Amino acid sequence: MKELMLGNKAVARGLYEAGCSVISSYPGTPSTEITEEAAKYDEIYCEWAPNEKVALEAAHGATLGGVRAACAMKHVGLNVAADPLFTISYQGLNAGLVICVADDPGMHSSQNEQDSRHYARAAKVPMLEPSDSEEAREFVHRAYEISENYNTPVLLRLCTRVAHSQSVTQTTERVLPERVPYVKDPAKVMMTKNSRDAHVRVEQRTRDLTAWAESCSLNRMELGTDTSLGIITSGTCYEYAREVWGEMASILKIGMSYPLPEQLFLDFARKVDRLIVLEELDPILEDHCRKLGLSVEGKSLFPICGELSPNLIRQAAGLPVPESRKLEEEIPMRPPVMCAGCPHRGVFYILKKLGCMVYGDIGCYTLGAVAPLNAMDLNVCMGASCSGLHGFLKAAGDEWESRSVGVIGDSTFIHSGITGVIDSAYNMSNSTIIILDNSITGMTGHQQNPATGKNLRGEPAGKVDLEALCRAVGFERVRVEDPYDLEAFEEALKEELTAQAPSIIISRRPCVMIKGVKHEAPIEPKTEKCVGCKSCMRIGCPAISVAEGKVRIDTTLCVGCKVCSKLCKFGVL
């Protein structure tokens, strides 16, 4: 059947068709919909794991149990999963394993733009790279074949423009492979001789795959009538190349970006006059060409940083770009903001008021860094707020203890924050951590997590008791506060900052965007009392603006949280 399908949905479709039976993932833009869409098929068991390392280990465990399995994550998630990845590469599988990883060139929703192709080479694991939805679906089938033929996990690399683009896809029916029985094999214990033997096997596997890459249909030489220029490319860049140079151009399209063929590159080079490599992020195909002694242009023309686009490529290649007109007018920016009624807002308002050093983390609450709150000092990666603050306090000393906090969401805390607070409890730093528990994984589009009491499908599930967990790892000072109650929250925070013991404040209030969370009636401002002091504007609520010197509430946005009311001294709100 023909369907217009999102790249991520096409991956899910491919997993379904190829008989994948278990998926364990952690959400992360732009990979999240792979698992969400797969969960719509009753035949696939799907779960959200606490983090990507656990997800990969669980998926690998499922292959040992005899079924095809998968996991999905964003590029930075692969850093977390790197530990099992490298050794699973050695140990092998019992049934096929596909690891979907979505890179984010241009950082639409990420803290860095690392290139996952490095992992394929580093872990010696083959990587496939589709360039549209139809390939995304088809390459899942191919990935399982490679995985089982060569006894290796296979990475399926997407980028934002493949993951989040819809294109026409041809679907097929599901074919379920026979379950592979589990048999104890002493060679699977990864130590000493077993590991040394495994490494030798992995090197041979890479040589075998390299030989196969020369003739496999994933890599394609498309010689056009114009051979004055030859373009070596992969993924979305293939689509850009066709867009810019048209159907007459000669292209070497690489569908398997690791391991790369050699003879195929050399053959292509002989057939064209000039070679360019078109790839986003790092010069991986380009370096391969240089290793083969080919003279190519790549990063000398196109940038390493950011996404490529048709015009950017045209400009770099000296081709004309379409004419366009801008308004002379200054157009104000529209940065993302915390939603009206967001429970995080009050917390950041208090942190700003108290002038705290705030070590932030990854989630919606990273928006606490933007104007007018500007209340976050920095963030690094999932969980760093807890461990980073601990290290900071060990160095900065007592004077900072009373004005430094780590701020982390519930899902992020479970993902990687918990080990950081254990460091803090065990090694006794006098830290204050605020867990922003909004009962959901917000930024990636509302996924359940181990602290919400529901599983991926929204059914009742096990639930981490955050208070008990924090106490169990050694925090004696653990309290729960309501972030809508600014006064009480401020008092609590002051107490914990001055306390001579590490403490955790759980700021508990569900995200207002969760279905079923009750909204209060919008605020009706008593405009006649408004003096236009703009005190209410300090919290940066998108529902509040000032028109003709008086406050105005956007009733389509306001959910009646009344945080602004607490800032108004004139009883307007």
Partner 1 sequence: MGHLEGDNEMETKNIMIVGVGGQGTLLASKLLGWVLMEKGYDVKVSEVHGMSQRGGSVVTYVRYGERVYSPVIDRGEADIIVAFEQLEAARWLDYLKVGGRILVNTQKTEPMPVITGSAVYPEDLPEKMRSAGAQVDAWDFLLPARMAGSAKAVNIALMGRLSTYFPEDWESVWQEGLEKNVPERFLEMNRKAFEFGKKIQELDK
The residues near 116 (Cβ < 8 Å, ≥ 6 apart) are 75, 78, 101, 103, 127, 155, 157
- Which part of the chain contacts partner 1 (CB under 8 A), choosing from 332-340, 406-414, 423-431, 454-462? 332-340
CB of 443 to partner 1, least distance (A): 6
Cβ proximity to partner 1: between 313 and 422 the closer is 313
CB atoms closer than 10 angstroms to residue 550:
14
The residues near 162 (Cβ < 8 Å, ≥ 6 apart) are 7, 130, 131, 132, 133, 136, 235, 236
Question: Cα(260)–Cα(521) distance, rounded to whole angstroms?
Answer: 60
Question: Cα(95)–Cα(154) distance, rounded to whole angstroms?
Answer: 12
- Binding-residue pattern over the window 10 to 49 for partner 1, x denoting contact by CB under 8 A: -------------------xx-xx----------------
CB of 444 to partner 1, least distance (A): 7
State the helix-helix crossing angle for 418-426 and 384-396, rounded to 10 degrees. 30
CB of 517 to partner 1, least distance (A): 16
Cβ proximity to partner 1: between 109 and 227 the closer is 109
Which residue type sits at 218?
L
CB of 170 to partner 1, least distance (A): 12
Residue with tokens 């001579």: 500
Restricted to residues 134-153, the positions that interact with partner 1 (CB under 8 A) are none
Judge whether 351 and 407 are in contact, CB under 8 Å.
yes
- Binding-residue pattern over the window 370 to 399 for partner 1, x denoting contact by CB under 8 A: xxx---------------------------
CB of 326 to partner 1, least distance (A): 4
Cβ proximity to partner 1: between 466 and 544 the closer is 544
CB atoms closer than 10 angstroms to residue 453:
14
Cβ proximity to partner 1: between 99 and 539 the closer is 539
Binding residue (CB under 8 A) for partner 1 from 181, 293, 332, 516 = 332
CB of 566 to partner 1, least distance (A): 19
Binding residue (CB under 8 A) for partner 1 from 337, 369, 461, 512 = 337
Sheet holding 256-258, edge to edge: 45-48, 22-25, 69-74, 97-103, 154-159, 127-128, 256-258
Binding residue (CB under 8 A) for partner 1 from 176, 189, 321, 428 = 321
Judge whether 146 and 154 are in contact, CB under 8 Å.
yes
Residue 155's beta-bridge partner residues?
A: 99, 127
Binding residue (CB under 8 A) for partner 1 from 193, 325, 515, 518 = 325
Binding residue (CB under 8 A) for partner 1 from 168, 428, 468, 488 = 168
Is 319 near partner 1 (CB under 8 A)?
no
End-to-end CA distance of the chain: 56
Binding residue (CB under 8 A) for partner 1 from 79, 89, 147, 165 = 165
Restricted to residues 462-481, the positions that interact with partner 1 (CB under 8 A) are none
Is 443 near partner 1 (CB under 8 A)?
yes
CB of 539 to partner 1, least distance (A): 11
Is 364 near partner 1 (CB under 8 A)?
yes
CB burial of 36-50 (b: ≥16 within 10 Å; e: otherwise) equals bbbbebeebbbbbbb
Is 339 near partner 1 (CB under 8 A)?
yes
CB of 531 to partner 1, least distance (A): 16
- Binding-residue pattern over the window 228 to 257 for partner 1, x denoting contact by CB under 8 A: --------x--xx-xx--------------
Question: Cα(343)–Cα(481) distance, rounded to whole angstroms?
Answer: 11
The residues near 348 (Cβ < 8 Å, ≥ 6 apart) are 358, 365, 368, 373, 375, 376
**Total of residues contacting partner 1 (CB under 8 A):** 60
379 DSSP 8-state letter: -
Is 367 near partner 1 (CB under 8 A)?
yes
SS3 400: helix
Cβ proximity to partner 1: between 22 and 364 the closer is 364
CB of 464 to partner 1, least distance (A): 25
Judge whether 444 and 28 are in contact, CB under 8 Å.
yes
Question: Cα(571)–Cα(525) distance, rounded to whole angstroms?
Answer: 9
Question: Cα(573)–Cα(570) distance, rounded to whole angstroms?
Answer: 8
Judge whether 159 and 11 are in contact, CB under 8 Å.
no
Is 330 near partner 1 (CB under 8 A)?
yes
Binding residue (CB under 8 A) for partner 1 from 306, 445, 532, 571 = 445
CB of 23 to partner 1, least distance (A): 19
CB of 409 to partner 1, least distance (A): 14
Torsion angles phi and psi, residue 234, rounded to 5:
-155, 165
Binding residue (CB under 8 A) for partner 1 from 166, 171, 210, 565 = 166
Judge whether 498 and 509 are in contact, CB under 8 Å.
no
CB of 560 to partner 1, least distance (A): 17
Is 167 near partner 1 (CB under 8 A)?
yes
Judge whether 202 and 150 are in contact, CB under 8 Å.
no
Restricted to residues 511-550, the positions that interact with partner 1 (CB under 8 A) are 534, 537, 540, 542, 544-546
Restricted to residues 180-239, the positions that interact with partner 1 (CB under 8 A) are 236, 239
For 39-43, the CB contacts below 8 A with 24+ separation are 39/456, 39/457, 40/12, 41/12, 41/16, 43/16, 43/174, 43/176
Binding site for partner 1 (CB under 8 A): 2, 4, 6, 29-30, 32-33, 108-109, 132, 161-162, 164-168, 236, 239-240, 242-243, 309-312, 321-327, 329-339, 364, 367, 370-372, 443-445, 534, 537, 540, 542, 544-546, 556
